[in-house]
Structure 1
């Protein structure tokens, strides 16, 4: 199956899951939720690897772990821990293709975002006596900020945009769960989440292309 056909299929299956599959039964919902991720993993596996090849391996591993987390998120803490592991794997992947230092303005925005989210979400949970969740949320925010930080250092626009979308998706999910209901939360979370994973998979090809072009020069 060609990459273009795979990309179209991913988009179609993602739209079917987000907009057409009912919440019950849960088993069917989870199955359709995982199909786009399986296709994204397949898409990543057929991309020409960049240098080093470990980047492709780590991206695929991160995709697989996030796919597991998609099903486990119905048991929130277990799913959260699994997503945390996925972010850590992405951090190691982005470190393999690190090119630049992060711009000061981007570093400031990431740190400001983290501070706001900790005060808003962790602070709210603290006042409610949810101390275990406070620790989990603070740790998670720290890890996703680190993931975004390393993505920015790659200079790979697909990895960077993917990381921003992943942070956005997690933020909407957390705000909706702990603070206030957000209209169209499910669609916002899943569209940005699938988009992030697809861009991570496509960054494998992007890195390959840029490396090849540099060699040709």
Structure 2
């Protein structure tokens, strides 16, 4: 019941931030942006864990660092670096789960995504002489790709959903910033971002399960 109330509160505050707070009120908009993440952190803290204790700690720290990143993302490089650090904590958390093989098709899709986004986004910056930013973008693509890889290896549905939504959210944000304008960008980015963090927070209550898979279709 309490978990349901937390999810409802996160949803309501997220809707208020996305659709009702004007962009001109920057300070207030940042404050409202952080409220759903603060609720997500409390949601994770209050979720009973069936996984290794360190998993929950790393997830909570990752959520907290993400909340800081939400506040400084208006200074793009500062936000990029802070989210990079948040992904490191998520990766450390996912490593605490007994890891299984990743399907070849999933590995292929992740690698194609990484190469494509590096060429498309980072390449656009190299072409205009922004080499430092291009390198920073490649580093971020690499870390979020690794985060997605490690998430899939846990075979925990909530972890995988959270990671994939995070990748989608960041992809929309990057394409809009560096390639072309995307209609309703803020809604696409923030809805999937908040959903990603809720799934990751909820994964604290997951149970490690075994899957029956065809070993010939896996990368070990």
TM-score range, shorter chain: over 0.9
Q: How many Å separate the matches in 1 of 2:64 and 2:207?
A: 20
Q: How many Å separate the matches in 2 of 1:51 and 1:172?
A: 32
- 1:67-101 per-position Cα deviation (integer Å, ceiling 9, x unaligned): 00000001111111000000111001011113311
Question: How far off is 1:123 after superposition?
Answer: 1.1
1:194 aligns with: 194
The answer to whether residue 25 in structure 2 is matched with residue 25 in structure 1 is: yes
1:73 aligns with: 73
CA contact (8 A) 2:49 2:206 kept: no
1:183 aligns with: 183
1:126 aligns with: 126
Q: How many Å separate the matches in 2 of 1:9 and 1:76?
A: 28
Structure 2 residue runs of 5 or longer lacking an equivalent are: 211-220
| TM-score with structure 2 setting the length | 0.93
Question: How far off is 1:164 after superposition?
Answer: 0.2
Q: How many Å separate the matches in 2 of 1:125 and 1:50?
A: 44
Question: How far off is 1:206 after superposition?
Answer: 1.9
Question: How far off is 1:4 after superposition?
Answer: 1.2
CA contact (8 A) 2:169 2:193 kept: yes
Question: How far off is 1:50 after superposition?
Answer: 2.3
Question: How far off is 1:187 after superposition?
Answer: 0.4
CA contact (8 A) 1:84 1:143 kept: yes
Residues matched between the structures, number? 210
1:106 aligns with: 106
Q: How many Å separate the matches in 2 of 1:24 and 1:186?
A: 14
Q: How many Å separate the matches in 1 of 2:173 and 2:79?
A: 13
The answer to whether residue 155 in structure 2 is matched with residue 150 in structure 1 is: no
